[in-house]
Amino acid sequence: MDYREYIVNKLNLENITAADVALPPNSQMGDYALPCFKLAKAFRKSPVAIAEELKNSFVCDEVISEVSAVNGYLNFKINKMGLVSSVLNRVLSEGDCYGSSDVGKGKTVCVEYSSVNVAKPFHIGHLSTTVIGGALYKIYKFLGYNVVGINHLGDYGTQFGKLISAYKRWGNREEVDKGGIHAINELYVRFNKEADELMEQEARNYFRLIESGDREANELFEWFKELTIDYVNTIYEKLNITFDSYAGERFYIDKMQPVIDELKEKGLLKESEGAQIVDLEPYGMPPCLVLRSDGASLYATRDLAAAIYRKNTYNFYKCLYVVAYQQNLHFKQFFKVLELMGKDWAKDLVHVAYGMVSLEDGAMSTRNGRVVWLEDVINKCVEKAYAVIDEKNSALENKRQIAETVGLGAVIFGALYNNKIKDVTFSYDKVLSFDGETSVYVQYTCARANSVLEKSGKSFALPEKYEPNAQEYEVIKQLSTFPQTIKDAAEKYEPSLIARYAVDLAQKYNKFYIDCKILSAEGETKHFRLSLTEAVHVTLKNALSLLGIGAPEKM
């Protein structure tokens, strides 16, 4: 049973959802709480008066044993015996499906994320879009949606003319094949350092050759693209990231003209200093530039074509764009243009904005060669994880494999734990700490629970009736909120809710582990505590899996 949904259904209030029901800061107040502040306008009363009124009209039953009103909060206490039985039975019976749902059945969600640039390095700045999008992909699938993961490749623009110019000046096939993306990047950086007006013009000419279908130029471009995809796929495999489409900007070049024609037909396209724009001043925004004065398309032109293509192809319920907050205006503009074109589905487009990830030593520039490669960050995390694990448990088998899982988990979790809109400064020492709010702490707790289960021989059964103590009950309550947490994460496009949930569950289990005997307990108490341990182990693994993180059985 989902208790938050049960409470909402029983209250039967407009504009109140399960996401509004929270866990009180003090468990003595209740198991769940509904803040009544958002009801003040509709009820035309103070939150305190509303909470008191709702308390007086609420009828307790076999599920909810007590209701109280405190300072504008409506607090609920759940029947302990019913909670314990229903939660543990559900977790243990559903296993790695615990928390899943069919709420998304028959609905398609498109998620555009990572969207790397061809022939440019996969650096630390790509981490957030990749792991946030990857987590949302897994979360929506877990909730029964049909999910389409889209890597909207940056494969169009004059930079490819620059790259061809650089390659023909200084490169050779053997060296580039051997060096791959790194060799391509070196050529790009050298071009930008040495370019004069003649070289810039040459680059523009090469790009025009790509556009016009020139065989040699396009063969070189496709080669650079292939080298890029081969490289980034090694990173995606490590990060447990998958895509269903690699349709990038170039894919939409022949799909832009119908969009431009429709804009003209609907009187939305206007000329401004030779360029073609959609005037958005009445909506408090600068104009959306659709075509430059030389007739060239822009990001907005291609994004308009892409959105229409995706709606026609996938008939999506939602289309998410996991892109940094610096692009807020761009998305507001092109969403508004689609709305003005009469696309009623424009409301289903969502910009999932996120903050930037940087290392402690500062910013980056691809053009000038100041780049922190993501593979270097991953490798450093794995090596540091190996050193920590070796120090803590030198006799551990498969240390290298475990260090890989721990190091990769630290990289992913470090970008996911905070609210997505916050800028993050990545610290190796912080993300690899066995204490605190880290994936290592969650993984270690998972391994601890597994160790307890292995020592028990896994020969136990959940008692039919058991009165939990305070520590046991806190763990049970935390377990009970996992299904709703996943739904909240999907509704708010916020994987950090699952990351924080995992840390909270690990903390509550570790307190229980320290305060309560498990293997040395007797009778039903031992059986119950082993059942509780297994439920925690299952749920932590599920939470980590939704974030793209593995859970070692030993650490």
Active site residues: 120, 123, 126
**Which contacts of 203-206 are long-range, i.e. CB under 8 A and separated by 24 or more positions?**
203/158, 203/161, 203/162, 203/164, 203/165, 204/158, 204/161, 205/161, 206/160, 206/161, 206/162, 206/164, 206/165
Phi, psi of 34 (to 5 degrees): -115, 110
Looking from the CA of 209 toward its CB, the CA atoms found within 13 Å total 20
Helix (H) or strand (E) holding 454: helix 439-456
Distance separating alpha carbons of residues 149 and 321, to the nearest angstrom: 11
Distance separating alpha carbons of residues 38 and 552, to the nearest angstrom: 43
- The percent of the chain in helix, strand and coil, each rounded to the nearest 5, is 60, 10, 30
Q: Residue 320: beta bridge partners?
A: 111, 350
Q: At what angle do helices 159-170 and 197-212 cross, to 10 degrees?
A: 110
Residue 209 identity: L
Residue 105 identity: K
Q: At what angle do helices 159-170 and 215-239 cross, to 10 degrees?
A: 100
The 8-class DSSP code of residue 362 comes to B
Phi, psi of 96 (to 5 degrees): -70, 0
Residue 477 identity: K
Joined tokens for residue 505 = 């569950």
Joined tokens for residue 35 = 């803040």
Please work out, in degrees rounded to the nearest 5, the angle formed at the alpha carbon of residue 174 by the alpha carbons of 178 and 205.
Answer: 105
Residue 353 identity: A
Closest CA to 506 of 474, 470, 528: 474
Distance separating alpha carbons of residues 92 and 534, to the nearest angstrom: 7
Burial 287-307 (b: 16+ CB within 10 A, else e): ebbbbeeeeebbebbbbbbbb
Distance separating alpha carbons of residues 399 and 386, to the nearest angstrom: 7
In angstroms, how far apart are the furthest CA atoms of the chain? Answer: 85
Sign of CA dihedral 482, 488, 491, 495: negative
Q: Which residue, chain included where needed, has tokens 């074109």?
A: 341
Distance separating alpha carbons of residues 198 and 67, to the nearest angstrom: 78
First-to-last alpha carbon distance for the chain, in angstroms, is: 34
